[in-house]
Amino acid sequence: MAYLLGVVLFALAILISVSLHEAGHMLTAKAFGMKVTRYFVGFGPTLWSFKRGETEYGVKGIPLGGFCKIVGMTPQDDDVDPADEPRAMWRYPVWKRTIVMSAGSITHFALALVTLWVIAVTAGLPNPDFPSTEAEIRKEPAVIQLSKCVVPENTLRECTTADPASPAAQAQLRDGDRITAINGAPIADYGQLLTTLRGLKPGDTAQIAYVRDGQPGSTSAVLAQTQRPPLDDPKGQVGAVAALGVGLVPSTPTRVTYGPVGAFGATADFTGEMAVNTFEAMKRIPQKVPALWTAITGGERDMDTPISVVGASRLGGEAVENNAWLLFFMLFVSLNFFIGVFNLLPLLPLDGGHIAIAWFERARSWLYARIGRADPGRVDYLKLMPFTYAMILIGGAFTLLTITADVVNPITLFSR
């Protein structure tokens, strides 16, 4: 029940954000005097509507987005009443059209930023000093956190009664103990702990020296067996290795909370990192298509493959089911930021495509005026329709691919 509730809540959050996207277009258009005739949440048959002033507002039967109709978005629109010609969108200055067309993405950014600010003040944002690379993690002091068990295979999952207990727990080690030596070999950091354990075999007895609350101690543990790739080749051949059943307790906190003022700077910094990561993720999308196909046809689902709204909603459901509300809201932030950036790409039929054409017209008019030639006028959108249809076809195919992968082989973050 909690899982289904999370799915519904996340899907509803997406629907609200997309509806606010369209409201951004509508409100800015109305503010500049453009005529907006329709604003609807959803698509398909109309369930309910009312008219206020010159705009019809309503809800349609398929809750997969929303739209608003601004009169005369392009000079080729053939449904503009002659009385509305002066208020056609294409007649307005390019800067006003840019604001209207970018208002949707700005709305997504605003939702993401406000949510991030609230998270920064309450739960905290990821600590920028937290070790993130393998090299940084290995340099951390060997302060341990006990696992409940040792999972025999090379996977991340919850412990079961069939899994062997953690040797460290059986040896009476505790969370927060710092390992200083194994079989007499000094342990300076977590990397040395891993390397030393890999030099032993499953079933070996390890003599462990440690420090607890400033006091030295010693114990012994019979090492269990698990499956891992080589330390120097994470994608290499998996093999049987010795396991102590411990993880790392980082020397720095994973998250940092901020005051109301300090949260603004932290939110800006985190948003900058998110922007870089978003652009990097977009660049990798074409090369991830084969991985999506592999996931659909029975292969393992790559955690780095794109997800659809369906996949995001499923992850939201998992977050609620496991009481991971912070993850739920971070997913909401990431999705809004991605939609905001993606929608500004200079490609039709995206808003960014309309903005790019508007500024192309402006630049071309300026250039022709400088060289003494007549203004060539507006871009003929009809000539761009084949390209637009091609982009719609590619986008539709990619959306279908991601939805299919999210249904038959979804990404999961928790064991269910």
**Mean pLDDT for the chain overall:** 89
Residue 134 has pLDDT above 80, yes or no: no
Q: What pLDDT sits at residue 415?
A: 59
Query: Region 387-391: what's the mean pLDDT?
Result: 91
pLDDT average, residue stretch 291-303: 85
pLDDT of residue 345: 92
Which residue ranges make up each domain of the chain? 105-128+255-416, 134-248
Q: What is the mean pLDDT of residues 231-252?
A: 84
CATH class of 134-248: mainly beta
HEC readout, the chain: CHHHHHHHHHHHHHHHHHHHHHHHHHHHHHHHCCCEEEEEEEEEEEEEEEEECCEEEEEEEEEEEEEEEECCCCCCCCCCCHHHHHHCHHHCCHHHHHHHHHHHHHHHHHHHHHHHHHHHHHCCEECCCCCCCHHHHHCCCCEEEECCECCCCCCCCCCCCCCCECHHHHCCCCCCCEEEEECCEECCCHHHHHHHHHCCCCCCEEEEEEEECCEEEEEEEECEEEEECCCCCCCCCCEEEEECCEEECCCCCCEECCCCCHHHHHHHHHHHHHHHHHHHHHHHHHHHHHHHHHHHCCCCCCCCCCCCHHHHHHHHHHHHHCCCHHHHHHHHHHHHHHHHHHHCCCCCCCHHHHHHHHHHHHHHHHHHHHCCCCCCCCCCHHHHHHHHHHHHHHHHHHHHHHHHHHHHCCCCCCCC
137-185: per-residue pLDDT in tens? 888 888 999 988 888 888 777 788 888 889 999 999 999 999 999 999 9
pTM: 0.81
Enzyme catalytic residues: 22
